[in-house]
Each structure stands twice: as C-alpha cells, then as structure tokens.
Amino acid sequence: MERMDETNELEEMRAQMALLKEKLNREEILTDNLLKQTMTGKMSTINRYKWISLFAALFALTFGNVSWYQIGLPLRFLVGTSILMVVSVVATWIIHAKMDEKDIMDGNLLDVAKNAKKLKVQYIQWQRIGYPVIILWLAWFSYELMSLNQDKEYLIGLLIACAIGGIIGGIWGHMMNRKVLKTCDDLIKQIEE
C-alpha cells in the first residue's frame, strides 16, 4: 500500500512538473514575442531616419537647386551641393544597411546587438565628418550668395532667412541623430539584459 501511495505521489509530481514546464514554455514564448515587438519598434525608429534623410536630400536636390539656380548661383555650387547630398544619402544608407528588422524576427539578437554597436560607432564617425562639411558648405553658400550681382539688401535678407532655416534644420537633425544614438543604446542594453 505504501508503495502505491509513493507511486501515485511520484506520478502526481511528474504531472505537476510537466504542467510547470508547459507554463514556463508559454511564458518564455510570450516574453520572447514581447521582446521582439519592442526591439522591432526600436529598429523602426532607427531605420526611419534613413528614409527621412532620403526625402530631405530629394527635397534639397529639387527645390534647393531650382531655387538657387533661379537666383543665379553658379553651376559649380549646384553640382557640388548635389554631389554632397548624394554622398550623404549613400553614406546614411550604407551605415543603416545591417540594421534589418527581420533579424529580430529570426531571433538573431546577437547579430542585431553587434550591428547596433557598429551603427552607433559609424554614426559618431559620420557626424565628425558631416558637421565640419556642413560648416564649409554654409561658408561656400554664403560666399557664392554674396558674390551675386544683385541688390545686397535682398541677398542679406535671403542669407538671414537661409541661416534661420539652417539653424532650425540643424537643431532638428542633431535631435534626430541623438535619438538614433539613444535608441541604439537602448536596443543594445535590452539585448544584453
């Protein structure tokens, strides 16, 4: 009789263990899915910037060049600006190339963390190049604008308007860059936990 009680207890313990394992598996799947959803949102934030940069460059290439051509800026400036925009967009897309949301869905979190670290380093390097280039371009733009044979008051007003627009765009772009870097940090931290 004692043996039968022990057998029943053992079977009951096995059933409870199986039930516990099943619950843990379900909990792990739910946690994994929630983690993937959160990280996909972060990846979406990071990748959104490459699309914004593409549309900003297309806007600058079309509207900017047409407007600047109409006021008389030289062709060398328009070509130089266009080349600068194309290089900027290509560099941004290359930097973002390894950040793919499907890696998260495939469960490739170590690759995502490695790519996020690489993106962050490249982003910082790109900023170290980009900010001085922007300053040089602004100086070139100011020089070319003030070299035009037009009413100087008009040109100064145009330069002030462009400076205000440039400051607003620069602040917005810097905030976007910081957001991408912070999101990379959050993504790396979440994966490492």
Using one digit for the tens of pLDDT, what is the confidence trace for 123-144? 888 889 988 998 999 899 889 9
The reported pLDDT for the residue numbered 78 is 92
3-state percent breakdown (helix, strand, coil) of the chain, nearest 5: 90, 0, 10
Q: What is the pLDDT of residues 11-33, one digit of tens each?
A: 777 777 776 667 656 555 545 56
Closest by CA position to 103, among listed 47, 33, 30, 43: 43
Does the pTM surpass 0.85? The reply is no
The reported pLDDT for the residue numbered 67 is 86
Q: What is the pLDDT of residues 158-180, one digit of tens each?
A: 888 888 988 898 898 888 888 88
Closest by CA position to 87, among listed 79, 98, 76: 79
Token pair of 78 as six digits:
């328009």
Domain ranges of the chain: 42-192
State in Å, rounded, how far the first CA of the chain is from the last one.
51
DSSP class per residue in 66-132: HHHHHHT--HHHHHHHHHHHHHHHHHHHHHHTT--HHHHHTT-HHHHHHHHHHHHHHHHHHHHHHHH
Question: Is residue 39 over pLDDT 50?
Answer: yes
Tell which wins on pLDDT, 156 or 191.
Answer: 156
